[in-house]
Amino acid sequence: MRKILFISRKSPYGTSAPREALDAILAASAYDQDLSLLFMDDGVFQLIKNQRSKKIEQKSMEASLQALELYGIDNIYCQEESLVSRGLENTDLIFDKIKLLNNQAINDLMANQDQLISF
Amino acid sequence: MLFSLLVMSAPYSSQSSQTAFSFAKTLLSEGHQIHRVFFYGDGIHNASSLASPPQDEINLPIQWKHLAEQKNIDLVVCIAASLRRGLLNEEEARRHEKPAANLESPFEISGLGQLLEAAVVSDRLITFGT
């Protein structure tokens, strides 16, 4: 079993990258590997509650991200510095149990992986 | 060492597509092996048989084709990303009742499982174009 970290770094609706990151990790969940997902940089905006993306003809990332739990992906992390620098707090986020990591912890997390896939 | 590449940028829009191709060629010339090149997101446009750049510019789909045929490399485009963007092989063109197919050979259309499999079996997975 290999340790694979998916990193999602883009805001939810500006590009297709966040949705493609989510699709990739959901597909990967079928292969019995040790998967983790890290939100950093503008990727933390995907985690904000009460998204109303119908107004711009987009599926809600907030709703789509709920699939992570159904697919058994529990290792979900968020870079603390990205949140703080964007004026966000963990009470703004859709996942109660998301783990906030400082930069040292992110270094350790990445160093511990077999593969990183960045979106 | 066994490598796989993930290409996520379109040719001509982003230098990353050219960098990925140059990296692939260099890997092989240095004695490494490539398990798979997986094209995802806008990267699928690297597989269009209809790309017609000016003659004094590189034709990336054709360059990938030649490299893959010479070196027997697995070139895979993501089916979900391809169908959304209008890149179809004969089978998908029939299935969706479209007038034409435009997937260059030997690129193949397959699912995201091929990306995960590449991450699992390769020593290194290198991403281009995020």
What number is the ipTM of this complex?
0.91
Mutate to test the interface with A, among B114, B116, B125 (most CBs of A within 10 A): B116
Helix-then-strand count for chain B, H and E: 5, 5
- Count of domains observed in chain B: 1
Token couple for B10: 């379109």
Contact, B8 vs B40, CB < 8 A?
yes
User: What would the DSSP string read from start to end of A40-101?
Assistant: -GGGGGGGBSS--GGGGT---HHHHHTHHHHTT---EEEEHHHHHHTT--GGGBS-TTPEEE
R_g of chain B computed on alpha carbons: 14
Share above pLDDT 70 across residues of chain A, in percent, rounded to a whole number: 100
The reported pTM is 0.95
Q: What's the pLDDT band for A73 if we cut at 50, 70, 90?
A: very high
Distance in Å, alpha carbon of A35 to nearest chain B alpha carbon = 10
User: CA of B75: how far to CAs of A72, B28, B70, in Å?
Assistant: 30, 15, 13
Distance CA A26, CA A86 (A): 27
A115 contacts on B by Cβ (under 8 Å): 119, 122, 124-125
Q: Would you give per-residue pLDDT tens digits along chain B (130 residues)? A: 999 999 999 999 999 999 999 999 999 999 999 999 999 999 999 999 999 999 999 999 999 999 999 999 999 999 999 999 999 999 999 999 999 999 999 999 999 999 999 999 999 999 999 8
Distance CA B59, CA B49 (A): 10
Contact residues of A toward B, CB < 8 A: 2, 4, 9, 16-17, 20, 23-24, 27-28, 30-31, 33, 114-119
Query: Inter-chain contact A16–B115, Cβ cutoff 8 Å?
Result: no
In whole numbers, what is the pLDDT of chain A averaged over residues? 96
Please report, in angstroms and rounded to a whole number, the separation of the first and last CA atoms in chain A: 22
User: CA of B97: how far to CAs of B85, B90, B94, in Å?
Assistant: 15, 10, 5
Position B130 scores a pLDDT of 82
Contact residues of B toward A, CB < 8 A: 6, 8, 40-42, 80-81, 111-113, 115-117, 119-120, 122, 124-125, 127, 130
Distance in Å, alpha carbon of B90 to nearest chain A alpha carbon = 25
Domain limits for position B29: 2-128
Which CATH number characterizes residue B82's domain?
3.40.1260.10
State pLDDT tens for residues A77-104.
Answer: 999 999 999 999 999 999 988 999 999 9
| Domains of chain A by residue range | 3-118
Closest-CA residue to A94 (of A59, A51, A52): A51
Distance between alpha carbon A101 and the CA centroid of its chain, in Å? 13
B119 contacts on A by Cβ (under 8 Å): 2, 4, 28, 33, 114-115, 117
Q: Which of B41, B42, B116 is nearest residue A27 as measured by Cβ atoms?
A: B116
Contact, B53 vs B59, CB < 8 A?
yes
Distance CA A14, CA A20 (A): 13
Q: Architecture of A3-118 per CATH?
A: 3-Layer(aba) Sandwich (3.40)
